[in-house]
Amino acid sequence: MTTEAPRNRWLEVTGGTRGPAYAERFRRLAAEGRDMHGEARFCDALLPRGARVLDAGCGTGRLGTELARRGHVVVGVDIDASMVGEARAEAPELTWLVGDLAELDPREVGGPDAFDLAVAAGNVMVYLTPGTLAAVLGTLAACVTPAAGLVVAGFALDGGNDGLLVTPDAYDAACAAAGLEPVDRFAGWDREEWDPAGEYGVFVHRRR
């Protein structure tokens, strides 16, 4: 009897077709005057000018494009080709790759130790293929510089709209196993004070 391999949660929930709808939603929110760049401000404040950033789970490229506008060198990767297509259309001058973070070879995005910061925003950690959190964090750790490179992730702590869940303890344990040490944690991208009973968390870890 064979056991079917787990499927990526994002592709299972969305079918890998929501790129155009997401891009349109963000354009509409921006037109309404909504603040679209909290994640970019957060990451930018951690970095020197001209830093190298891996946008892990880049989606439609909203975060990576804004970080590039702020002067950083950005490479984005996402498992959803429909999302990457929107990122390429919006910012064709940047590097956007289709790939599964759980299977990513650091050489595909510039090599080991190539980045000052890897960021996984937008509930990326929640929507990974089940059982791959440790592998993904190991890859992100390998992509950032030793003793200084940062891994930043933000995700819903209540399971989000689809009832999926990554607890802070599980995330911190996986980071530790990947050779990442905690730096700080917040309840949101505007550096709201951490709330252990809150619905959202932003975690900053440094490679040892």
Q: In what order do the strands lie in the sheet with 117-120?
A: 95-98, 73-78, 52-56, 117-120, 150-156, 200-207, 180-186
Q: Tell me the torsion sign for CA atoms 170, 122, 191, 198.
A: negative
Tokens of 164: 């999926």
pTM: 0.94
DSSP-based three-state secondary structure for 80: coil
Walk along the chain (208 residues) and give the pLDDT tens digit of each residue.
Answer: 555 778 899 999 999 999 999 899 989 988 999 888 999 999 999 999 999 999 999 999 999 999 999 999 999 999 999 999 999 999 999 999 999 999 999 999 998 999 999 999 989 999 999 999 999 999 999 999 999 999 999 999 976 555 568 999 999 999 999 999 999 999 999 999 999 999 999 999 999 9
Q: Are 29 and 23 in contact (CB under 8 A)?
A: no
Using the CB atoms, write b or e for 74-88: b if 16+ within 10 Å: bbbbbbbebbbbbbb
Residue 140 neighbours by CB distance under 10 Å: 29
Q: Which CATH class is domain 9-207?
A: alpha beta
